Amino acid sequence: MRLRSAMMYDMKLQIRHGFYYAYVLIAAAYIVLLRSLPLDIRETVGTVITFSDPSVLGFFFIGGLVLLEKGQNIYDNLFVTPYKPEEYIISKTLSLTLLSVVTSCIIHLSAFGLHPNLFLFLLGVTMTSIFFTLLGLGLAVRCQTLNGFFLMSTVYTFVFVLPLVDVIGVWTTPLFYFIPAKASLMMIQSPFNPLGTGQMIYAIGTLTAWIGIAWMWTRFSFRKFITLQMGGGDPQ
């Protein structure tokens, strides 16, 4: 009940701040770009684009949202109600994930048409979005300004999106298998390169584990940097 209502208001807030328009514009631009490309490179570019949507884009959007709420000191009022920080994290994450999944789906269908293998693809987008939104949230609560967040985020995103160089065929190493983006990319590419059972287990297992780690880290960051600093006190 409370979670559903919180998600509704989160989406309303995202609309009010123009997130949906931004996503529509970006998706339209991607679709035009993809449709203008020859089929052989369209798949590679499509994979990179569909990956960047829930990951890099989601990461920056959550950062923007959190810093906006921090700037308006919303937390002082939000967490003197029965609303739990965990519910807040879930509401933010799921509302942004929904946006990512819908846009990724539209981009994919417009560029490549209907595939039989869309389930793994969508699951990949969903899990990627959850992971990167949690990561962005955990990072944003540690930052005071948007510039600070951008600076820090280049480091974080760089490490976590590194396996992209494999997709575009620049370089590869087995170490990439430890990075969640490797699993994300395999699932997002699955309409073109179907996965075997072992690969499927690997991809889903890796993303699940990383989401678990990100969840704990974000919850910890939230408690330390938001809950304990509430009501002014010492801004440090």
Ligand X SMILES: Nc1ncnc2c1ncn2[C@@H]1O[C@H](COP(=O)(O)OP(=O)(O)OP(=O)(O)O)[C@@H](O)[C@H]1O
Per rule CB under 6 A, is residue 230 in the interface with ligand X? no
17 binds, among ligand X, other proteins, none (CB under 5 to 8 A by kind): other proteins
- CB of 90: closest distance to other proteins in angstroms? 14
Per rule CB under 6 A, is residue 229 in the interface with ligand X? yes
Quick note: the x/- pattern for ligand X over 197-216, rule CB under 6 A, is: --------------------
Q: Are 184 and 210 in contact (CB under 8 A)?
A: no
Alpha carbon distance 142, 190 (integer Å): 36
Distances in Å between the Cα of 55 and the Cα atoms of 1, 30, 32, 126, 146 are: 28, 15, 21, 10, 18
Size of the site for ligand X (CB under 6 A): 4
> Nearest CA to 199 among 211, 187, 209?
187
Retrieve residue 112's tokens.
Answer: 């490549």
Alpha carbon distance 11, 16 (integer Å): 9
Q: Which stretch binds ligand X (CB under 6 A): 49-57, 121-129, 186-194, 228-236?
A: 228-236
Tell me which of 82, 114, 158, 234 binds ligand X, using CB under 6 A.
234
Per rule CB under 6 A, is residue 79 in the interface with ligand X? no
Per rule CB under 6 A, is residue 233 in the interface with ligand X? yes
**Close Cβ partners of 120 (under 8 Å, ≥ 6 residues apart):** 187, 190, 195, 200
Nearer to ligand X, 114 or 228 (CB): 228
- CB of 84: closest distance to ligand X in angstroms? 20
Interface residues toward ligand X, by CB under 6 A: 228-229, 233-234
